[in-house]
Amino acid sequence: QQQVKQSPQSLIVQKGGISIINCAYENTAFDYFPWYQQFPGKGPALLIAIRPDVSEKKEGRFTISFNKSAKQFSLHIMDSQPGDSATYFCAASIRGDYKLSFGAGTTVTVRA
């Protein structure tokens, strides 16, 4: 059973628009929440990560929002660019083993 549920499965956004991907988890022991980006034929690569002691983390055009009480977190991609077209996975793990439980992924297509 999937421990992290991710939506939507896919989205299309115009260049310059905002992409929003949502994830929810059940295991309250999770304390590390990364987002990975994967291009076709490549392995996933860490994009940005957050721990539950903060509600938001921003790195460039990418922002994670975290709601501990709702057990939800989301990725916002601002000013989306064609190069952002990829599959994005949210994940969660318990600090120490970093055995990641991944969501099913969201394929983002940015139209020029």
- The residue ranges that bind other proteins (CB under 8 A) are 2, 4, 6, 32, 34, 36, 41-46, 49, 89, 91, 93, 95, 97-105
Distances (CA, A) of 74 to 42, 43, 56, 97: 23, 22, 10, 23
- The Cα 36–Cα 94 span in angstroms is 17
Q: Rounded to the nearest whole angstrom, what is the least distance from the CB of residue 42 to other proteins in the complex?
A: 6
104 burial type by CB count under 10 A (0-12 exposed, 13-18 middle, 19+ buried): middle
Looking at the Cβ atoms of 92 and 110, the one nearer to other proteins is 92
Q: Rounded to the nearest whole angstrom, what is the least distance from the CB of residue 12 to other proteins in the complex?
A: 17
Looking at the Cβ atoms of 15 and 95, the one nearer to other proteins is 95
Q: Rounded to the nearest whole angstrom, what is the least distance from the CB of residue 84 to other proteins in the complex?
A: 19
